[in-house]
């Protein structure tokens, strides 16, 4: 079995994991903006994510000879370690729910802000739990200041979203005021606009700006302006193509989904930590701890199951007024499938490297991979034009947020400790059990 035992090797795993975990969200966002149903995308993504875990387990988990205190993957599958297996699967359940939620959150609050908020929540809660579960092997003097910077990043993330949303409202208002020559374009206001179509009226005789944008004929828009990220024409074009329609939806909905996803992300790593290190002493005497590859395999099974069950359900009972689909339609929808599968592979290998690094240097330090918003923000700005033509206030908030976020990640990496190898930990566990048994026997005597 391949093991990373040095601090340098663990940090290298975390950095590669950071790149992979920061890239796959951008791919899924691209597919959603092109109109592919998120249910279809997520089924492809979760399948390849599971295959990545199987590949890691059958390769890295099988390298070298199996030892009693450090068994290889296949050897450990037959052992009586179900309490820790269930804990690993609980971690996969949390990650699955978080990833499904974040896919909808991206559409509401944008790739950059959604990733920053969820990652910050994950670090604040998850890192604190992992620090105590890992018997404080990380440097608290560096770890918790890093956590504090993440707290500030949460607040700035919300401020960036609010400022950017206000910028978009201003762009759309200006756009509507310039369309006097185009019929059926109602006057634009921040929340509601009057319309003449009785079918579109709500109980107050008003309709959301979503309906007003539907009145705009895309063919009448300036094709050159539509290509420029950040323009009102581009915002309308993206809204007309994307799978999840969010214009006019409550900001509270998007932020609520984002915070729920962040809570799920905060709990999956501590659950995995408990599965591999058995701090709650759930295993019977003589049963070795789960190696990281076995735990990751079961973790990914739970992830795949919850993703499949929920997304097949969403095919027939979709959320957020998405169109209904079916398994047949999903199988026929090859548009973007390769990209969704690539995203699944990136996420699977990224998670695996995060856990390998965390087992070596402490899971609290491994939470540094939550810096993935730095990568996601780069892709969001480069490929999606997020924050293009926004106000100076938005730019200032965005830069400050990312700088503080970078400092937080650097502090977390610097706090990395060095865990004893799984074999040594198992041997010490068994030795303590023997000493305890000997002490009890002496007392009985």
Amino acid 219: pLDDT: 56
Question: Whole domain around residue 297: which residue ranges?
Answer: 7-168+246-439
Q: What is the pLDDT of residue 420?
A: 66
For residue 176, tell me if it sits in a domain. Answer: no
CA distance 127 to 358: 11
Do 27 and 376 form a contact (C-beta atoms < 8 A)?
no
User: Do 119 and 372 form a contact (C-beta atoms < 8 A)?
Assistant: yes
For residue 76, what pLDDT is reported? 92
For 102-144, the three-class secondary structure string (H helix, E strand, C coil) is HHHHHHHHCHHHHHHHHHHHHHHHHHHHHHHHCCCCCCHHHHH
pLDDT of residue 83: 94
The pLDDT value recorded for residue 380 is: 76
Q: Burial, 296: exposed, middle or buried (Cβ in 10 Å; 0-12, 13-18, 19+)?
A: buried
**What span, in angstroms and rounded, lies between the C-alpha atoms of 393 and 160?**
9
User: Is the residue at 179 inside a domain?
Assistant: no
| Residue spans of the chain under pLDDT 50 | 181-212, 214, 427, 429-430, 432-445
Is 67 a domain residue? yes
Name the nearest CA neighbour of 412 among 153, 151, 138, 154. 138
Give the whole-angstrom CA distance, residue 5 versus residue 356. 10
* Per-residue model confidence (pLDDT) at position 438: 42
pLDDT on residue 402: 84
Max Cα–Cα distance, the chain, nearest Å: 100
| Predicted pLDDT of residue 344 | 96
**CA–CA separation, 288 vs 358, rounded Å?**
19
pTM: 0.78
| Token reading at 64 | 């070298």
Extract the tokens encoding 51.
């295959």
Tally of domains in the chain: 1
């Amino acid at each position: 079995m391949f093991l990373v035992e040095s601090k340098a090797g663990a940090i290298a795993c975390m950095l590669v994991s950071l790149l992979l975990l920061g890239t796959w969200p951008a791919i899924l966002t691209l597919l959603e903006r092109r109109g592919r149903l998120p249910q279809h995308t997520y089924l492809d993504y979760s399948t390849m994510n599971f295959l990545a875990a199987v590949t890691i387990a059958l390769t890295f988990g099988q390298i070298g000879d199996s030892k009693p205190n450090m068994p290889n993957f296949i050897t450990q599958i037959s052992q009586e370690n179900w309490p820790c297996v269930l804990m690993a699967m609980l971690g996969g359940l949390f990650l699955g729910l978080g990833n499904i939620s974040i896919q909808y959150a991206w559409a509401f609050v944008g790739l950059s802000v959604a990733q920053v908020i969820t990652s910050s929540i994950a670090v604040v809660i998850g890192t604190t739990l992992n620090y105590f579960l890992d018997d404080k092997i990380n440097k608290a003097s560096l770890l918790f200041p890093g956590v504090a910077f993440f707290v500030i990043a949460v607040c700035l993330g919300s401020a960036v979203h609010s400022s950017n949303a206000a910028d978009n409202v201003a762009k759309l208002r200006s756009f509507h005021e310039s369309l006097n020559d185009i019929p059926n374009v109602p006057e634009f206001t921040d929340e509601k606009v009057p319309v003449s179509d009785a079918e579109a009226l709500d109980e107050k005789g008003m309709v959301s700006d979503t309906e007003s944008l539907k009145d705009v004929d895309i063919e009448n828009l300036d094709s050159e302006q539509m290509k420029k990220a950040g323009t009102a024409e581009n915002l309308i074009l993206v809204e007309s193509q994307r799978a999840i329609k969010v214009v006019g939806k409550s900001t509270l909905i998007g932020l609520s989904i984002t915070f729920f996803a962040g809570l799920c992300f905060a709990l999956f790593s501590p659950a995995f930590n408990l599965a591999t290190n058995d701090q709650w002493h759930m295993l019977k005497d003589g049963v070795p701890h789960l190696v990281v590859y076995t735990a990751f395999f079961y973790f990914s099974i739970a992830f795949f199951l919850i993703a499949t069950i929920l997304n097949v359900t969403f095919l027939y009972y979709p959320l957020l007024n998405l169109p209904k689909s079916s398994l047949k339609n999903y199988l026929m929808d090859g548009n973007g499938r390769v990209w969704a599968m690539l995203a699944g592979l990136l996420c699977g290998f990224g998670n695996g490297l995060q856990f390998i690094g965390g087992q070596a240097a402490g899971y609290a330090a491994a939470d540094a991979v939550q810096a993935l918003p730095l990568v996601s923000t780069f892709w969001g700005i480069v490929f999606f034009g997020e924050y293009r033509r926004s106000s100076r206030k938005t730019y200032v908030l965005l830069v400050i947020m990312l700088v503080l976020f970078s400092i937080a990640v650097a502090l977390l990496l610097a706090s990395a400790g060095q865990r004893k190898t799984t074999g040594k930990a198992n041997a010490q566990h068994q030795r303590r059990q023997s000493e305890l048994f000997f002490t009890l026997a002496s007392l009985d005597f």
